[in-house]
Amino acid sequence: MNVIKKNELEHYFNTVIGLDVHIDEVSNRNLQKIPLYLKHGYKFYKIDLYNQSFLLAIFQGEEPSSPKQLEKQLQLMTQMFNKQVVYAFDHLEAYQRKRLVQRRIPFVVPGKQLYFPFIPIDLNERRIQKTNKKNQLTPAAQCLIIYHLHKEPLDNISFQEIASKLNYTNMTISRVVRELMQFDLIEIFGARSKTMTFRNQRMAIWEKALPLMKNPIKKKYYATDISQKGGFLNAGISALSNYTNIDAGTIKYYAMSSDEFGYQESKHIFLDLNQYKSNYCIEIWKYNPRVLTDSLNVDPLSLYITMRDEADERIEKELENLITKQW
């Protein structure tokens, strides 16, 4: 685990979250009374937020303690400093963050989540996107990025060829390119026949773009049966079970574009189509999931985005493992 730097935290608070925050290092003189294991395990800063002063304990080790141990350490540090203490981690898995929230342990993971239960603020990666819609990618832009990351590189290819590969109009791709430029994800080259190049390697692109990405599912329908089941793309837990060892469950999940759903519905293949849970779930996506995969499973990156808010710890772990394997 990397150690967070002070300027990273200030950037996250001031620029990303939009909070006016001041961070100052705590002097060694004020750390004399704390146990050595805490002094070596954390770097301490004073943080002023909403006219209140807190202690920021930046984790310095490889693997954080269990939530129960963190809770005990929190109580000890709060008593010794007579201040509310907030943990800062470079990275925590989704299930680890969930356990800290359940115990009401305040923490911050830059770019992921800020949880301060003692003041009315809880900003996670999902809510940050909802509160600032200008910082969201359009479905077409998201589709292009995932195509580049998962299916084949789009560097140094003409816009017209990109439009053909993604089945979008040239005008849509032109808008997408301007959008990606706005987020500093690409560079454009050429005059008449323009091409683009992503600024970073695949994993860095994903990490930069992920907070901007939205769940591609527009609507869900359920059916008691489907008369023609062959050829549909597996989605949700059905796809995850094919990528990992997790159990598929009892409901079969499929993903399709609005056009494909309209065509299939016109053939009356869905029995008792409704919005209540049944044997089959049909996800209608904002972009065409077939463009992004050559198999009968939706692509793993889009799958992660559709399922990243699942509360099941087994699903959270498998999703994290699935993403790690992509790089």
Helices 170-182, 159-166: inter-axial angle, 10-degree rounding: 110
The chain-wide mean pLDDT, for the chain, equals 86
The one-letter code for the residue type at 82 is: N
Final residue belonging to a domain, choices 212, 234, 258: 212
Q: How confident is the model at residue 185 (pLDDT cuts 50, 70, 90)?
A: very high
User: What is the percentage of the chain residues whose pLDDT exceeds 90?
Assistant: 50
The one-letter code for the residue type at 206 is: W
* Predicted pLDDT at 71: 92
For residue 141, what is the domain's CATH number? 1.10.10.10
Q: Are 271 and 247 in contact (CB under 8 A)?
A: no
Q: Are 90 and 107 in contact (CB under 8 A)?
A: no
Q: Report the pLDDT averaged over residues 283-292.
A: 96
CA separation, residue 299 to residues 68, 210, 296 (Å): 37, 15, 9
* Predicted pLDDT at 132: 42
The contacts of residue 9 (CB under 8 Å, 6+ apart) are 23, 45, 56, 58, 88, 108, 110
User: What is the percentage of the chain residues whose pLDDT exceeds 70?
Assistant: 91
Asked whether residue 127 falls in the same domain as residue 43, the answer is yes
**Does residue 303 lie in a domain region?**
yes
Which domain does 228 fall in, by range?
217-325
* Predicted pLDDT at 195: 92
pLDDT at position 142 over 60: yes
**Does residue 71 lie in a domain region?**
yes
**Does residue 249 lie in a domain region?**
yes
* Predicted pLDDT at 129: 45
* Predicted pLDDT at 18: 60
**Does residue 106 lie in a domain region?**
yes
- Among 19-23, 31-35, 263-267, 292-296, where is mean pLDDT lowest? 19-23
With residue 237 as reference, give the H or E element that holds it.
helix 236-243
In whole angstroms, give the CA distance from residue 94 to residue 83. Answer: 27
SS3 46: strand
Q: Find tokens 């200008």 and name the residue.
A: 134
Q: How confident is the model at residue 131 (pLDDT cuts 50, 70, 90)?
A: very low
SS3 47: strand
**Does residue 197 lie in a domain region?**
yes
Asked whether residue 258 falls in the same domain as residue 158, the answer is no
* Predicted pLDDT at 114: 81
* Predicted pLDDT at 130: 46
In whole angstroms, give the CA distance from residue 240 to residue 316. Answer: 11
Final residue belonging to a domain, choices 195, 212, 229: 212
pLDDT at position 15 over 70: no
In whole angstroms, give the CA distance from residue 310 to residue 129. Answer: 17
Q: Are 301 and 206 in contact (CB under 8 A)?
A: yes
Q: How many domains does the chain have?
A: 3
pLDDT at position 38 over 60: yes
Final residue belonging to a domain, choices 131, 164, 187: 131
